[in-house]
Structure formats: C-alpha cells, structure tokens
Amino acid sequence: MVVDCATSGVLRAHTACFPPHRRITYPLPCIHGWPCCSWCFRLTAAAAQVGQQQRFSATSANSNSTDIPDFSEYRKDSTPDTSRAFAYMMVGTTGVLSAVAAKSTVHDFLSNMSASADVLALAKVEVDLSAIPEGKNVVVKWRGKPIFIRHRTAAEIAEANAVNISELRDPQLDSARAQQPEWLVMLGICTHLGCVPIGDAGDYGGWFCPCHGSHYDISGRIRKGPAPLNLEIPEHVIDGDKLVIG
C-alpha cells in the first residue's frame, strides 16, 4: 500500500531538511522513502545535503499522482447479477441440451424395440363373415394361433344365455364374450395346457379338448375338465360382414 505522506500521518519538525520544516512520520512506507517529509522531494538542495537521493521519476513528484486513478474505463458495466446470470445460463443451456439428448437416446432405443409397421400390418386378420353359414365353425390363423369363429344359431344363443353363471368355474356372461350374439370369436387354445380343442364336440355342445378332456359350452366357457378359465376372446371388431381380429 502506498500512502501519501503529504496528506496523512503525524506532522513533526523535520530537522534534516533545509530549511527545517515539519516532518511527517507514519507507520507505512511512503512512496518516496522513509522517513519522509512532505517537502523534501521538492527541496532538492536540502535533500542532497543530507544524503538523500533525488527522485526524478518518482510518481509522487507529479501533482496528485497519489490519487486513486479512474478505472471506470476498465470496469465491467455490471451489477452483481450479471456474472451469476451468465453462469446459470450456461449451466441451464447444458441441462437443456443434455435433456434433449437423453430423451432422444431413450426414444431411439424404445422405438427400435417396438414392432415395425410391416409387423403391425401382419398382426391383423380380416375375415369375410358372409362366407360362414349359420351353425358352422371356421378356424383362421392369427399371430400363429388358431381363432375359432362360430356363426351361432338362435337356439345356441338362447342356450348360452340360459346358463346360470353362478354355477360356472369362470363366471362370465355370454354378452360379455360375444360382441354380436350370432358371432363368437375365440382364441382356440385350451386354457389348461394349450391344446387346440375340437369344435362341435363335448358334453355341452361346444368345444372339447382331447388332451385332458376339458368341455367348453357354446359360449366357449369351461364347464367340465381341468381347464381353469374360459377360452380367451381376442380383440376384434365386427363391421357388417367384415371381421377384423387384432
């Protein structure tokens, strides 16, 4: 720290200078030597007389050089928020870009794992129902599994509805199984161990599984034998004469 001895410190008589004037002492080194006097840098003759070096280039020789310079030219035009806002902006931008990158990475992996359009197109089966006469079964293949389509007669519908469902092993109304009562669409896989039941067979006029003797009624509900559940109903839509499974 550089202090100006001309303006601060304790004033004392300075006997070394000529003519004697007041000497200034203070605890910090002054820019033009210690101890110093507020006049000696000007009284060169006197200074030389007492062996002090004349300081030609001492900045303090220039008037007011000890004033604090004007740094406003070099200062940032800023408030305390400026740098903070910039730093947080950089952090936030990094966060945004990382979030986008992470999301698209996950999205790429997931879309790679899901079924492609050609697979989805094969996943549906269309059946023309007008070709199936009343009282007949048709088996179609859907996703590698057999689908039973039964065009039921009015008597069969009445028989399916007449069953007291509280007696069933897997209680289910016929209306919950067939979207339209005359059309029953079922997955032809026995719920016991996965055999394909035989149509128009069994004790209940529906399907019979030859493997372990499960009997299904005309609504495909399990009535007798080891199978625990009714034949499964796949997702399907009946639109006029067109049946779409899947």
Among 50-58, 72-80, 183-191, 210-218, which window interacts with other proteins (CB under 8 A)? 72-80
Among 53, 78, 105, 180, binds other proteins (CB under 8 A): 78
Q: Closer to other proteins at the Cβ: 10 or 99? A: 99
Between CA 211 and CA 229 the distance in angstroms is 16
CB neighbour list of residue 229: distance below 8 Å, 6 or more residues apart: 169, 170, 191, 222
The C-alpha atoms of residue 41 and residue 70 are separated, in whole angstroms, by: 25
Query: How far is the C-alpha of 118 from the C-alpha of 128, rounded, in Å?
Result: 22
Q: How far is CA 234 from the centre of its chain?
A: 34
Helix (H) or strand (E) holding 21: strand 21-25
Does 210 engage in binding with other proteins (CB under 8 A)? no
> Could you say whether residue 84 binds other proteins (CB under 8 A)?
yes
Strand order of the β-sheet with 10-14 is: 10-14, 21-25, 36-37
Strand partners, 180: 183
Q: Does 90 bind other proteins (CB under 8 A)?
A: no
**Site for other proteins (CB under 8 A): which residue of 13, 42, 95, 232?**
95
Closer residue to other proteins (CB): 15 or 83: 83
Q: Residues 32, 16: contact at Cβ < 8 Å?
A: no
**Which of the ranges 6-14, 84-92, 109-117, 220-228 carries the binding residues for other proteins, by CB under 8 A?**
84-92
Clarify whether 215 is annotated catalytic. Answer: no
Question: Which one of 22, 42, 103, 212 is in contact with other proteins (CB under 8 A)?
Answer: 103
Member of 67, 70, 73, 77 binding other proteins (CB under 8 A): 77
Using only C-alpha atoms, the chain has a radius of gyration, in whole angstroms, of: 52
Q: What does the per-residue mask of binding to other proteins show for 104-133, with x meaning CB under 8 A?
A: x-----------------------------
Name the site residues for other proteins (rule: CB under 8 A).
Answer: 77-79, 81-82, 84-86, 88-89, 92, 95-97, 99-100, 103-104
Give the residue numbers marked as catalytic: 212
